[in-house]
A = this chain, B = another copy of it.
Amino acid sequence: MKIISHITDMQRWSEARRLAGKTIAFVPTMGFLHEGHLSLVREGKKRGDVVIVSIFVNPMQFNQQADFATYPRSLEQDQLMLEEVGTDVLFYPNAPEIYPEGFQTAIEVDKVSQPLCGAFRPGHFRGVATVVAKLFNITKPHFALFGEKDFQQCVVIKRMVKDLNFDLEVLPMPTVREPDGLAMSSRNARLSPTERQTSLCLARALHRAQDLVAHGERQASSVLQAVQEIITGEGGVRIEYISLCHPETLEEVAEVSGPTLLALAVWVGDVRLIDNCVIR
């Protein structure tokens, strides 16, 4: 696996691959990799000739300095895991390489950045859209893979790609879960054993909602109430939001008719966790 840390080197490498007729898959990450990331790399390897993975903990998308500072990092372990799944290039720039002095440009994806996580993390999706656009221009992929655990992120990136005419395909991939149902996340590492147990209420709540709809419930309010009861049934969990909304526009729905996104964000202790499912 090649490690590249400079933008121009990365562009030169990708351009050469493209000129050689190779198809480039790209998986952007913030490191501290888990099976969720690796599943994206494996899928990229399957669909493309070469796979680039980036690791960059993007300061622009953290609205809280503390979250950025404590975001878990483990480069050596990440490298081993990436080698093992056949990554061709790890793009690993430092912050001044990505945000040099004088940097002053931002990309805003308006409506789909507003609700859900966007309402609680001001500037977050602006930071995400901007860095992902940069990474697309740096790695020049034919397609890019994102985990559906960050569902709103997938929606924002898809919208940006369409609106700015990036000539590449965004492939959202199913959330990978621990055997007990917890969605994999780098932030899970910060949960205490008790919190780890508590956090299972998220997956349980998603199942309950799917069950209710499968059995004929259509009122969003009833589904949301059931979800809320499951989550508040656990001590030490604070709900940030629970929403039933359209999976493309992210506009809230009053009735579950057609595919509907159920999205949750909660705090377990001082760890913020999100999860979601599309109810069909």
Q: Which of A's residues lie within 8 Å of B, judged by CB?
A: 7, 11, 15, 18-19, 21, 102-112, 129-130, 133-134, 137-138, 140, 159-160, 163-167
- Measured between beta carbons, the chain B residues less than 8 angstroms from A112 are 104
- Measured between beta carbons, the chain B residues less than 8 angstroms from A103 are 163
The reply to whether A105 and B7 contact each other, CB–CB distance below 8 Å, is no
Complex CA distance for A212 and B129, rounded to whole angstroms: 47
The reply to whether A140 and B111 contact each other, CB–CB distance below 8 Å, is no
Partner of A159 from the list B104, B111, B140, B166 (CB cut-off 8 Å) is B104
Complex CA distance for A137 and B164, rounded to whole angstroms: 7
The reply to whether B11 and A167 contact each other, CB–CB distance below 8 Å, is yes
The reply to whether A165 and B19 contact each other, CB–CB distance below 8 Å, is no
Partner of A106 from the list B110, B134, B140 (CB cut-off 8 Å) is B110
Complex CA distance for A163 and B160, rounded to whole angstroms: 17
Complex CA distance for A159 and B100, rounded to whole angstroms: 12
- Measured between beta carbons, the chain B residues less than 8 angstroms from A110 are 104-106
6 A/B residue pairs, CB under 8 Å, sorted by A: A7-B165, A18-B19, A104-B110, A104-B112, A105-B129, A137-B167
- Measured between beta carbons, the chain B residues less than 8 angstroms from A165 are 7, 11, 134, 137-138
The reply to whether B167 and A133 contact each other, CB–CB distance below 8 Å, is no
Complex CA distance for A112 and B105, rounded to whole angstroms: 10
A7 nearest in chain B by CB position:
B165
Complex CA distance for A19 and B19, rounded to whole angstroms: 5
- Measured between beta carbons, the chain B residues less than 8 angstroms from A104 are 109-112, 159, 163
What's the least CB distance linking A146 to chain B, in Å? Answer: 17
